[in-house]
Amino acid sequence: DVKVTQSSRYLVKRTGEKVFLECVQDMDHENMFWYRQDPGLGLRLIYFSYDVKMKEKGDIPEGYSVSREKKERFSLILESTSTNQTSMYLCASSRQGAIWAGELFFGEGSRLTVL
């Protein structure tokens, strides 16, 4: 079975602090994604990566950056958190074929609260 592991399930931070969310997948997938999920807004794509060191902006990249130094690992960085970044963050991965072809697998999510 595909396993996507997010390092932190729950985090509480103060405004202005830096947050580093890590995601690791064990199925050698080429594509990795970061979403956030908010009540009433659904899932929104922040960034995705289709290869090591490659990244593409999604719908809401402002205030976020990402890093993909190894194929299995995709990190989401919030350099200076704000209260409007309180959310559930979900990492996902899929196999290449075409970037749009693969079945998407999600991690358990990281619930971030910014005070």
Binding residues for another protein, rule: CB under 8 A, are 4, 6, 40, 42-43, 45, 48, 50, 56, 58-59, 90, 92, 99-101, 103-109, 111
Q: Using an 8 Å Cβ cutoff, are 24 and 5 in contact? A: yes
Q: How far is the CB of 16 from another protein (least distance, A)?
A: 27
Q: How far is the CB of 83 from another protein (least distance, A)?
A: 20
CA distance 104 to 112: 23
Q: Which is nearer to another protein, 2 or 15 (CB)?
A: 2
Angle at 74 between CA 76 and CA 22, to 5 degrees: 60
CA distance 103 to 92: 10
Q: Which is nearer to another protein, 37 or 67 (CB)?
A: 37
Q: How far is the CB of 109 from another protein (least distance, A)?
A: 5
End-to-end CA distance of the chain: 37
CA distance 61 to 70: 21
Q: Which is nearer to another protein, 26 or 59 (CB)?
A: 59
| Structure-token match 């490659």, residue found | 54
Q: Which is nearer to another protein, 6 or 75 (CB)?
A: 6
Q: How far is the CB of 105 from another protein (least distance, A)?
A: 6
